[in-house]
Structure 1
């Protein structure tokens, strides 16, 4: 015969189960707008039944049910989508940073405009053409001197701004590397806390959400792969072997922090850690682009310095855009500018030759030993290259943005809290709770009759 109190025990479990479900709904609603929070659900099951008590095998059909039980409270998360999101957001960060810095390079070169480098180059050689028409004109020599000063200052200004941008990127790399190191340290701490809690049999859902959010942030800055082991997350870079670096070993708690004091643009590495994607990769690629444009700028400046000095001795001094300047004698007075070689009135031979340099082939564009490119062609090739890189970076950023948005929406559809759904669940669990309470009331009434009423006689 079954126990008189069996129903109370079953309903007690029902109250606990439905109360746990209601508490989980409350937790979901409270964190509906919490960054990185994953919706939690209660997994319920029938509590293991009992054979009907008897001296031998029971003759009653079935087993004695004992109500319901909470197996676990789990978070709604898709690890496959997490991996996809991190890989794509890492590429998104790379192209976003690169596009931003290419835009800054474009703004520095400022082409086309009235103050751009191509404009001042053309004005400089035009002033020599005007001098060739009036070789003895002091005012024409003043214009040559002034346009030369503008040319020098423009080269210096562009070189200085490009170097400033390069230094700014260095500071950003240091800052981002420090942020990555800090996040890795936080994940290491969470690994220990999660392991301690889950050894007791619970799911550390909220701590796991925090840890995954930190990994998402790291993935925006540097390529990272995640392995979830018994001791927590192990983080590695995705560079192919033997360049893979273990950023965090969950088994030993060993961390390999990024060292921004050593940056290699040639290998796209920071402190020996090769970076294949993320904002840090975008910064390294931007530094390479800046170096390339500074080299081309120096080549252009040296072409002007050497070709002009080859016709008018000691007109320019310096090597490269940053140190290019006028010879002190020219800077001191325009009267030191020579129009011709003989010194005779009307001799315009030097002025004509310098003016003609604008159309002369000065550079070897294919590095094949053939001089085949003019100043204008060289500079326009440089600007065209920048335009191509900008358009490509913009396309890649937009493409990655679309991919990241799509995957992010899929993640949100699984993990985000829906207030409407939670309210529906609340009503469902509330009705179940109330029904269990009513059953308890009914059983209590039966027991009261058995205990207090059945033994009475009139």
Structure 2
């Protein structure tokens, strides 16, 4: 026998279920612009039907439905797309840092320009050419000195910028490691809270969204592996166990660098920073040091013309000779002193005699700083009435100096193997700038390609998980009508019961 109040219960279930759907749609609409939010849906099922009691079988055909109820509220998300996004995001993060670093390197070298190192070197060679036209001119010597100072300053400044960029990248690595530890702590806390709520039979969709959003942020910093366990997410960063259920494991910058050196940290901003610091910046710093050292001490072959003095003897014929860079050549010249003295070094190391010349340590010799007449131009000495004098008007050394612009040097090898082994100073520097341009162009190309890949995956992910206001409004209208119909059904049952209770059984009263 049917229950008199069966219809009321059916209408009540419909009202509650449709109300839950409307509230969930409102939640979706409210979070349409919330980062990391996944749209949610109420899962509806027909409630368990009933049968009228009987000894052998139902007394009515079929079963009597009892309405609708919702069994869960779930978020719409696809794990495969999450994995694709995180893998692409790690690669994008690495190329983003590399491209940014190479752009900064291009700014540091500032080539081609009127203020770059190449222009300063050209001015240095030109100053020697001008001095060779009037070798006794004190003004010409001062111009050579000032251009030498400008060259030294350019080397020093460029090297300092490179060192500062290395320090900035190291600081950024430490900052990112702190961010990684902070995210790991938050994920572990969410693992705990999600497990606690699931133990009570709840479905913490919003907390899961927060956890996945944190993992997305983590994937931009380093390549991560996520494994779902009974205790939540287990996350590995490179080869490090970062999160184990509800336990975060703190990592250090040294741990991160060890993973990079072992080849397990291959993506993300951290990998890009370490690669940029230890490959790009270190390489260009080393090549710049090799350029400065070779300019001062690199082996060159020159030809001393006949009539010049060499080792106290006047040459009868031209003499091919290998000397050690600008300093070696300059020390073949004579100063206008009484008696004539051989010139000293033009450049020296700021770290002291005997220390290597680098772009950071190169400086103009103190003797030339104090007296520009310590710059030699002549390679001839004549003796008159037993008195030796440096020949004025001789410009052999000044000519040889200006000719060094087109002279091949033997360059010091670098650990990376980049840079040419033999060539002019200009050709070596051009190879450095050319290498930088190619690397920067390649990084920009890779960055653009990876950006397109990540955007494509994110678009696919949003098509699954993102909130569409048009779709939500359509769903809202559907459930609104369903709720109104359930309310009308409740009113009909109420009117029926009113008739039964108050209108039946009163005949004949």
- Using structure 1 for the length normalisation, give the TM-score: 0.93
Shift of 1:170: 1.4
Query: Which structure is larger by alpha-carbon Rg, 1 or 2?
Result: 2
Identify which of 350, 365, 368 aligns with 1:327.
365
**CA distance in structure 1 between the partners assigned to 2:405 and 2:63 by the alignment:** 101
Q: What residue is the counterpart of 2:117 in the other structure?
A: 117
Query: Counterparts of 1:363-382 in structure 2 under 5 Å?
Result: 363-364=410-411, 372-382=422-432
SS in 2 for 1:268: helix
1:353 alignment counterpart:
400
In the TM superposition, what are the counterparts of 1:59-78 in structure 2 within 5 Å?
Answer: 59-78=59-78
Gaps of 5+ in 2: 298-324, 331-343, 350-356, 382-389
1:213 aligns with 2:213: yes
Q: Distance in 2 between matches of 1:374 and 1:201?
A: 77
TM-score normalised by the chain length of structure 2:
0.84
Question: Does the aligned pair in 2 maintain the 1:245–1:273 contact within 8 Å?
Answer: no
- Offset of 1:171 from its aligned partner? 1.5
Superposed displacement of residue 67, structure 1? 0.9
- Corresponding residue number in structure 2 for 1:444: 494
Distance apart, 1:131 and its partner CA: 2.0
Picking from 389, 394, 410, the partner of 2:439 is 389
Shift in Å, 1:394? 0.3
Q: Structure 1 CA distance, aligned partners of 2:487 and 2:361?
A: 88
Structure 2 matches for 1:274-285, cutoff 5 A? 274-285=264-275
**How many aligned positions are there?**
447
Shift of the 72–267 alpha-carbon distance from structure 1 to 2, 3 Å rule, reads: closer
Does 1:286 find its partner at 2:269?
A: no
Partner residue in 2 for 1:173: 173
Note the alpha carbon deviations across 1:124-151, whole angstroms, 9 max, x for none.
1222222223221211111111110000
Secondary structure (helix, strand or coil) at the match of 2:140 reads helix
Q: Is the 8 A contact 1:2 1:53 kept in 2?
A: no
Structural RMSD (CA): 2.0
Q: Which has the higher contact order (CA 8 A, sep 6+)?
A: 1
Whether the 8 Å CA contact 1:235–1:247 is kept in 2: the answer is: yes
SS at the partner of 2:423? coil
Trace 1:42-441 onto structure 2 (pairs within 5 A): 42-237=42-237, 239=238, 244-250=239-245, 253-260=246-253, 264=257, 268=260, 274-287=264-277, 288-306=279-297, 307-312=325-330, 313-318=344-349, 319-341=357-379, 342=381, 343-364=390-411, 372-441=422-491
Measured after TM superposition, the shift of residue 211 of structure 1 is 0.8
Any conservation in 1 of the 2:127–2:140 contact (CA below 8 Å)? yes
- The alpha-carbon deviation at position 152 of structure 1 amounts to 0.2
Instruction: Describe the shift of the 1:267–1:162 C-alpha distance in structure 2 as closer, same or farther (beyond 3 A).
Output: farther
1:420 aligns to what SS in structure 2? helix
Give the Å deviation of 1:399: 0.4
Contact 1:73/1:203, CA 8 A, preserved across alignment: yes
Q: Which stretches in structure 1 are left out of the alignment for 5+ residues?
A: none
Query: In structure 1, what is the equivalent of residue 27 of structure 2?
Result: 27
Per-residue deviation, 1:73: 0.6
